[in-house]
Amino acid sequence: MWMIGFIVEHFTLESSENLHTFVSMTTFKRRLVREKVLQTLYAYEMSKEPITSVISNIMGDLKNSKDDFEFAKKLVNEVIHHEQEIEEIIKARVAHWEFDRIAFIDRILLRMGICEMLYFPDIPPKVTINESIEIAKTFSTEQSGRFVNGVLDAILDDFKKSNLLKKTGRGLVEENLHPENKPLSKPKKQ
């Protein structure tokens, strides 16, 4: 609901350029929030400080936007809570690699991406993968974007085959729907 008010208040949607600007701003803002999550998880792993104090120190400026702060806090907490499960998923997909040799930032981004796919039903998997790729290009090695893309894409395929994705609302994308949620196909004309 807040988004509608924002659009009405700040844009006249008479041109597609204004709508494109709004969508770009929203995407950019969410990417910045994900970057804060990456920084928080990195600091937590390195410092071993209590997560509440790491969140306060790194994500404090997000408190101005309740939705952004809540999303970031939930993502951090879910990644930490499901760390073992998520790492097993990663290890199964990169079996020919030594897990500890994967760049640390890449491992955190993979955890975040898998967590979003499994525990954030309203986020489309392709959005998660694209955001992870862009953040990897900015914060990790030269090859990280391709690596993160390959691993997350393969894991997404695994999730689709095993019906592990439970997406709702805007998280629904036809190719990742649960069989019971797929739209009925139109009858073929004869």
Tell me the per-residue pLDDT of 117-135, one tens digit each, with 9 for 90 and over.
999 999 999 999 999 999 9
Domain 82-172, CATH class in plain words: mainly alpha
Global pTM value: 0.76
Q: Are 71 and 33 in contact (CB under 8 A)?
A: yes
**Residue 185: is it exposed, middle or buried by C-beta count within 10 angstroms (0-12/13-18/19+)?**
exposed
For residues 149-167, give the mean pLDDT: 93
> What residue segments make up the domains of the chain, in order of their start?
36-76, 82-172
Q: For the chain, what percent of residues have pLDDT higher than 70?
A: 75
Specify the residue for token string 């350029």: 17
When pLDDT is cut at 50, 70 and 90, the band that residue 3 belongs to is very low
Query: pLDDT tens for residues 29-69?
Result: 889 999 999 999 999 999 999 999 999 999 999 999 999 99
